[in-house]
Amino acid sequence: MEKVKKNLAIVLGVVISALFLWLSLRGLNLADVWGIIGEAEFIWLLPSVAVYFVAVWIRSWRWHYLIKPLKEVPTKKMFPITAIGYMGNNIFPARLGEVLRAVFLKRRENVPISASLATIIVERIFDGVVMLAFVFLNLTELAKLTGDSGFVGNIQQVALIGTGVFVAALAVFLLAAMFPQVTSKIGRWFISRLLPESLQEKTLGIMDKFLDGLESLRSPFNVLMVFFTSAIIWLLETVKYWFVMHAFNFSVSFFALMLMNGIVNLATTIPSAPGYVGTFDAPGIAVLTAYGIEHATAAAYTLVLHAALWLPITLLGLFYFIRYLMADGLSWKEVFAWKEEVEEEK
């Protein structure tokens, strides 16, 4: 039954990606798009890749900071594992890269998977908050450009819903971090009443480890530090968008690229095929055309940007993945047997 659900999720993701790709490319002459790509100055991709890797390094530092209460793991050790996570998200379905990060951190640094997953969820919540900030900061400018097209209204609705979801999630995690004993008591009450006795002990152990992973959020300074670091990470990614733009014959403001960055990354939370095929491209093209960029140019830029975001970090993550498998004498089956390891954590 679980395998059937997993296969259905994969099929659904592929269907959604195909739909988004069709929406983004319909009405286009693909020969025109490839012609524009062929004329691009790809030398601009070099600084874009460099600044992106700086952002990944800072992301690794942020994760090191969140893990710090559990164990002091240097950023240089977190960077390869973070790259493996990117690779996993880009190749495997259902954001499996996030789980791979936790698995390799457990294998190499003995940090419990449940605690690691807590810090990873915290990262994603802060990322979502920053992405929403990027959107809200630039909605007024976009509204002036698009008039009554309906595009802005749709984004405003999505942004408002997203704000409610992310703010609520952030509030829950902050409260759980600040009041661990109360949270544990509530969790134990639910577990004792909803789960059979055979599962209660293991589930309680996993919950305790998960709460340990939230320890870094108990300090207001740490919360501000994580938020500030998240903003830097996504501003650097916007700089990548800016560098790639210079490979093409068009120009929009840095704030427009911030808006595009925010929207496409919020859209990639929608289930899709691995690598966010379609869910990245369709909203990216829509934002640029709303700013008056010709459709074929917007499509060419977005497709090249997507490839520049996907390929370098995927290759680097795959390199570290294979290297760690060989160094640790692990098989693929052992790496993906993470559920058994979580169940053993008490």
pLDDT by 10s per residue, the chain, length 346: 556 666 677 788 888 888 888 887 888 888 999 999 999 999 999 999 999 999 999 999 999 999 999 999 999 999 999 999 999 999 988 788 999 999 999 989 999 988 999 999 999 999 998 998 888 887 776 666 554 444 545 666 666 676 777 788 888 888 888 888 888 899 888 888 888 877 777 788 778 888 888 888 888 888 999 999 999 999 999 999 999 999 999 999 999 999 999 989 988 888 888 889 988 999 899 889 888 899 999 999 999 999 999 999 999 999 999 999 888 777 777 777 665 665 566 5
Task: Print the domain residue range for 249.
Answer: 2-21+45-344
Q: Is residue 316 part of a domain?
A: yes
Residue type, 276: Y
Q: Is residue 170 part of a domain?
A: yes
Q: Is residue 33 part of a domain?
A: no
Q: Is residue 37 part of a domain?
A: no
Extract the tokens encoding 90: 């880009």
Q: Is residue 28 part of a domain?
A: no
Through-space distance between the first and last CA atoms of the chain, rounded to whole angstroms = 27
Query: How many domains, the chain?
Result: 1
Kindly give the interhelix angle for 96-109 and 75-91, rounded to the nearest 10 degrees.
Answer: 150
Q: Is residue 65 part of a domain?
A: yes
Contacts of 265 (CB under 8 A, 6+ apart): 127, 131, 234
Taking the model in full, what pTM does it have? 0.89
Q: Is residue 39 part of a domain?
A: no
User: Can you tell me which residue has the tokens 């286009």?
Assistant: 28
Q: Is residue 29 part of a domain?
A: no
Report d(CA 100, CA 86) in Å as an integer: 9
